Amino acid sequence: MSTRATPRFTMQLAVLSQPAGVDGVRTVARSKMTVQQVFQPGGKVSNALLTGTATAATGSVTCADADFTTGTTVLTIGPYTLTSNVEYVTGTAAQTATALAAAVARLPEFGATVDGGDNTKVNVTGPFGPDGGKMVLKVMYNGSVVNFTLAPTTGFFAVGGPIVGPPTF
C-alpha cells in the first residue's frame, strides 16, 4: 500500500482561557485547524497535511569502472535486482550505462535515462510520493572492482513529494 490521504478539511477549535480573568470570566479563543488523515504503509494513520507537489523519488547510478571480468555486480532498485551480464549487457562505461538504463526502465514504477551531460550516469526515478524514499538503491560487488557509484549514498532513493507535514492552525 502506498501513502494516501483524505481530502483536506478545516475544523473550528474553541479553547477556554486558563485561569479565568480578574472578573472571573473565562474567554474563548477560537481557531481553525486544517488537516487530513494520512494513511501510510504498515497501518499508520496520522492527522497531518500532505504538502508540495507530486514528484518521483530520485537516484543515480554512475558506471565508474567498466571492468566486470572479476565478478558480477548486483544492483538493487526497490524490490528488484539487476545482475551484470544477466539483466543488462556490459561493455564500455557508456555502453553499460545505456544497457542499465534500458533494464531499469523495464521495471514497474521505475524509469531511467542516461544523463545528457555524462553518458556514464543513469538517472533513475522511482515511485511518486513520500514512500519513494523508502525504496532501496544499493549495489553489491561479487568481484574486486567497484563498478558503480550511487547517489544518494544512503542506500535509499531521495524522497519524492508530497511530504507528510503537520496540520496548520
Q: What is the pLDDT of residues 4-55, one digit of tens each?
A: 777 888 888 777 666 666 777 777 776 788 888 888 777 777 788 877 777 8
State yes or no: pLDDT of 67 exceeds 90: yes
- The per-residue pLDDT for 53 is 79
| Mean pLDDT confidence for 81-99 | 96
| Domain range list for the chain | 4-51, 53-162
Q: Which residue has the cell 487530513?
A: 36
**DSSP string covering 45-89:** EEEEEEEEEEEEEEEEEEE-----TT--EEEEETTEEEEBTTTB-
Query: 97: which DSSP letter?
Result: H
Residue 123: pLDDT over 80? yes
pLDDT computed for residue 68 by the predictor: 93
Instruction: Give Cα 130 distance to the centre of its chain.
Output: 6
